[in-house]
Chain A
Amino acid sequence: MAETQGCARVASKVVGDPRDDQKTSEEIVGKKEIKMTARVGQKAPEFTAPAYYKGGFTNVSLSDFAGKWVLLCFYPGDFTFV
C-alpha cells in the first residue's frame, strides 16, 4: 500500500487482534485468520495505521471519523487505478 522507505515503520494495528496477547512469533505462526470479519450491518473493525496526509506522515484511526460517513478503500499497489 505504501512505498518502502529506509527508516523503521510503524505497523498498522487492529483493535482486538488476538495476536496482541503477548504471544511469541512461534505461537502465532500458522494462525492466519484473525477472528474478525467485516460484514454489512456490523461494526467496522477499528484500526490505526500510518498514513500520508497533505504532505506529511501521521497516524490515522477509523475512530478519528466517528460521526462522519467514511469511505474506506483498499488497493493492491501504488500507481494502479482504483
Chain B
Amino acid sequence: MWNDHELTKMVEGGVPFHMAADQAGNVGRAYGVWDENQGIELRGRFIIDPDGVIQAMEVMTPPVGRNLGETIRQIQAFQLVRESKGTQATPAGWKPGELVLNPGPDLVGKVWEVWNPKMEK
C-alpha cells in the first residue's frame, strides 16, 4: 500500500530492498530502538559489515529525518578501512579520494602535520 501509493512516486519501480515488519518490537528491542511507551521504533540506523559486526549506529527521535549522504560516506569509509585490513583510518569529514591516515608510532603527535580541521568540507 505504502509502496504503491507513495514510494513508487519517489523511486521508480518502488523500494528495491526488503521492508521488514516488527510489530511486536522484538527486533527493535534487541537493537535498543523500541519505544515501549509508544509502541514504535525510534529512527535507528545500523551499518553492519560482511562479518555481521555493527560498525556504526545512529538513533534519533522520530521528528528529525536522517542524512543518507552521511550514511553512505560512513559506509565508504568503513569499506576503505576494511580493505586496508585496519592499517588505514579516515579523518573527520573524509570523503572518497581524500587523504587517509596510517595510524602508528610515526603518526603519534604529528596528525597536525598532515591534517587540520580546515580540510573538512
Contacts and interface: CB of A to CB of B under 8 A. Distances in A.
B interface secondary structure, majority: mixed
A39 B52 CA distance: 12
B43 interface: yes
A18 to B, nearest CB: 11
A28 B47 CA distance: 31
Q: How large is the interface on B (under 10, 10 to 19, 20 to 34, 35 or more residues)?
A: 35 or more
B76 to A, nearest CB: 10
A41 B54 contact: yes
B27 A14 contact: yes
Contacts of A53: 17-19
Contact of A45 (B6, B31, B43): B31
Contacts, number: 157
Contacts of B1: 3, 78
Interface residues of A, number: 53
Interface of B: 1-3, 6, 14-24, 26-33, 36, 40-50, 52-57, 62, 65-66, 71, 75, 78-79
Given A2-B21, A12-B22, A62 B36 contact: no
Given A69-B78, A76-B41, 7 more contacts: A14-B29, A43-B54, A44-B46, A46-B52, A69-B50, A71-B48, A71-B75
A interface secondary structure, majority: loop
A7 interface: no
